[in-house]
């Protein structure tokens, strides 16, 4: 089966809730275990909030991946915000430029199987995460 993608705009706090709900539906469909679902949704919540707060809004592309090798959910968070000057620092626990506990990026990375971040100052940030069915 090909991947099906759904794109959600993230411009308000309600959108963060919506991203969580959509990810839950996809994760259930993909057959992720309850713990895996919870981890993926929590990571998505962190990243959607990052997109809203630091990226000044953006989009989330949620897709179900179902090929011969694996089954799961992949999400891409895109924003045109200021970008992250020091990615390594931003991934360190305890680092925060906004108002979280500083677990946003680093924490989200620990909750997923795949994590990729593309960012440059002035050019926005794109974070891709995925969690696969075990």
Partner 1 sequence: MDSIPILKIGSALLVTIQVDMHDQLATQLQEDLTTRIVEHHARGVLIDISALEIVDSFIGRMLANIASVSRLLDADTVVVGMRPEVAITLVELGLGLPGVKTALNAERGLALIGGVARDEAAAGDGDDD
Our finding on whether 37 is near partner 1 (CB under 8 A) is yes
Q: Which stretch binds partner 1 (CB under 8 A): 12-20, 61-69, 75-83, 123-131?
A: 12-20
Of 16-24, 56-64, 80-88, 125-133, the segment contacting partner 1 by CB under 8 A is 16-24
Q: Residue 6 in contact with residue 22, Cβ under 8 Å?
A: yes
Handedness of CA 26, 27, 29, 34 (dihedral sign): negative
Q: How far apart are CA 78 and CA 60, in angstroms?
A: 6
Pick the stretch among 44-52, 58-66, 75-83, 125-133 that binds partner 1 (CB under 8 A).
44-52
Least Å from the CB of residue 75 to partner 1:
14
Please tell me the distance from the alpha carbon of residue 84 to that of residue 112, in angstroms, as a whole number: 21
Examine residue 111 and tell whether it contacts partner 1 (CB under 8 A). Answer: yes
Residue 17 interacts with partner 1 (CB under 8 A): yes or no: yes
Binds partner 1 by CB under 8 A, chosen from 10, 27, 32, 41: 41
Contacts with partner 1 in 86-105 (CB under 8 A)? 93, 100-101, 103-104
Q: Which two tokens stand for residue 102?
A: 């500083």
Type and span of the H or E element at 124: none
Which residue is listed with tokens 């971040």?
117
């Amino acid at each position: 089966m090909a991947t099906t993608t759904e794109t959600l705009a993230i411009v308000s706090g309600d959108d963060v809730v919506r991203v969580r709900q959509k990810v839950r539906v996809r994760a259930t469909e993909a057959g992720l275990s309850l713990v895996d679902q919870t981890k993926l949704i929590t990571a998505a919540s962190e990243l959607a909030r990052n997109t809203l707060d630091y990226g000044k809004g953006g989009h989330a592309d949620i897709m179900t991946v179902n090929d011969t090798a694996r089954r799961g959910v992949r999400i891409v968070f895109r924003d045109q915000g200021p970008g992250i000057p020091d990615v390594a620092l931003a991934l360190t626990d305890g680092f925060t430029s906004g108002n979280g506990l500083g677990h946003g990026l680093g924490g989200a990375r620990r909750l997923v199987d795949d994590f990729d971040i593309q960012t440059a100052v002035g050019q926005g940030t794109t974070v891709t995460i995925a969690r696969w069915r075990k």
